[in-house]
């Protein structure tokens, strides 16, 4: 399986990103120990010059990480025809024990990478690098996660065996099965739709308040995180049912197929962008309190707030369209 072009690309990206982060981590330790913006020493001047290079490398590294999540899911979906029993990405992820952990770690890296890129952008707006310690401390926290992603991904791809008969999405996302996926599939659609709508109203209201008044940023970040989790649960619980027009098909990956108009991308892409924007917004509002960043923080909060609100709006519109245009009627199974 390692000869698959997408797999080779993902592995190479992980190798390059790991190398960049390990290099940057050594520099981060030096920054945390020796950085003193008020000093004119040779060491301080060297750190200031090197930080431009390291920041550029990390921008590329984390940008690759953001794209690798989409490539990973696309690759899993495209490989579904190569394994017996696999109908979609679910079956490919079930080929061995490393598939789902790799996906979960990639999702976590996606969000922390988005937050780091935001902090780095904001730090470069201040003449005194007010966030440099924060962003490099965060980098040291991210590095082990990226290394774990690389190891898990390598184990996943290396342990793939086309002779293995894997489980399809109908087995995993079934109310009769066991595990978290089965428990989410068994959630009653009507209460989940009510919760989904309530959270949508709350996050939208809070987001608009952030944009207009610059207040409630931390609350908005927490609500966005809850919306992300409940949104994914809702896709499995009831949105997917309306897309497939089948009361027992809960798979969150088959909606990425052409047969369903790639509607999954219209759901997931705005949701991920909105959540990443809200998390970045909450981080910026907590850390960006330096006097040199007052105007930059205000502008960035406005942009991130609108981006998050727009993302959640698009996600909910896509979900409403999927439910509203479906020919499925749920009847008694709603409860």
Dihedral through CA 300, CA 264, CA 194, CA 205, nearest 10?
10
Q: How much is the pLDDT for 312?
A: 96
Q: At what angle do helices 189-213 and 263-287 cross, to 10 degrees?
A: 40
Q: How much is the pLDDT for 332?
A: 46
For residue 11, what are the contacts with CB-CB under 8 A and spacing of at least 6? 2, 153, 154, 157
CA 206 to chain centre: 21
Most confident listed range (24-28, 35-39, 290-294): 24-28
* pLDDT tens column, 95-115: 888 988 999 999 999 999 999
* pLDDT tens column, 208-266: 999 888 888 899 999 999 999 999 999 988 898 899 888 777 888 888 887 788 898 99
- Percent of all residues in the chain with a pLDDT value above 70, rounded to a whole number: 93
Best CA proximity match to 238, nearest among 104, 103, 329, 310 = 329
Q: How much is the pLDDT for 248?
A: 78
How far is residue 76's CA from residue 178's CA, in Å, rounded to a whole number?
23
Dihedral through CA 297, CA 299, CA 304, CA 306, nearest 10?
150
- Percent of all residues in the chain with a pLDDT value above 90, rounded to a whole number: 39
Sequential DSSP letters for 38-96: T---HHHHHHHHHHHHHHHHHHHHHHHHHHHHHHHHHHHHHTGGGSTT-SSHHHHHTSS
Q: What is the mean pLDDT of residues 268-293?
A: 88
Computed over every residue of the chain, the mean pLDDT equals 86
Two tokens, residue 147: 């290394």
Q: What is the mean pLDDT of residues 149-177?
A: 78
Q: How much is the pLDDT for 87?
A: 75
Specify the higher pLDDT residue, 150 or 188.
150
CA atoms within 13 A on the CB side of 292: 10
Q: How much is the pLDDT for 3?
A: 61
Most confident listed range (21-25, 67-71, 314-318): 314-318
Best CA proximity match to 213, nearest among 313, 316, 285 = 285
Does residue 207 surpass a pLDDT of 50?
yes
Confidence of residue 2 (pLDDT cuts 50, 70, 90): low
Confidence of residue 171 (pLDDT cuts 50, 70, 90): low
């Amino acid at each position: 399986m390692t000869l698959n072009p997408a797999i080779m690309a993902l592995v190479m990206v992980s190798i390059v990103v790991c190398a960049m982060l390990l290099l940057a981590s050594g520099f981060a330790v030096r920054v945390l120990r020796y950085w003193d913006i008020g000093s004119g020493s040779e060491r301080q001047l060297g750190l200031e010059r090197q930080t431009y290079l390291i920041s550029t490398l990390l921008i590329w590294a984390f940008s690759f990480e953001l794209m690798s999540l989409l490539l990973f899911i696309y690759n899993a979906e495209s490989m579904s025809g190569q394994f017996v029993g696999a109908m979609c990405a679910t079956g490919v992820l079930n080929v061995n024990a490393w598939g789902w952990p790799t996906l979960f770690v990639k999702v976590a890296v996606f969000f922390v990478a988005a937050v780091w890129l935001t902090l780095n952008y904001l730090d470069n707006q201040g003449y005194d690098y007010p966030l440099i310690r924060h962003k490099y401390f965060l980098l040291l926290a991210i590095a082990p996660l990226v290394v774990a992603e690389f190891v898990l991904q390598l184990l996943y791809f290396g342990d793939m065996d086309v002779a293995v008969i894997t489980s399809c999405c109908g087995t995993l996302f079934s109310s009769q099965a066991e595990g978290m996926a089965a428990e989410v599939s068994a959630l009653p659609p009507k209460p989940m739709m009510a919760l989904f709508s309530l959270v949508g109203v709350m996050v939208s209201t809070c987001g608009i308040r952030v944009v207009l008044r610059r207040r409630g940023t931390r609350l908005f970040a927490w609500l966005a995180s809850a919306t992300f989790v409940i949104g994914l649960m809702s896709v499995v619980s009831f949105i997917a049912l309306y897309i497939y027009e089948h009361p027992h098909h809960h798979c969150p990956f088959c909606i990425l197929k052409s047969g369903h108009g790639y509607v999954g991308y219209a759901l997931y892409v705005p949701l991920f962008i909105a959540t990443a924007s809200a998390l970045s917004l909450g981080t910026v509002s907590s850390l960006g309190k330096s006097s040199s960043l007052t105007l930059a923080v205000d502008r960035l909060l406005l942009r991130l707030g609108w981006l998050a609100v727009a993302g959640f709006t698009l996600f909910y519109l896509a979900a409403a369209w999927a439910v509203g245009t479906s020919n499925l009627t749920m009847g008694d199974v709603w409860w």
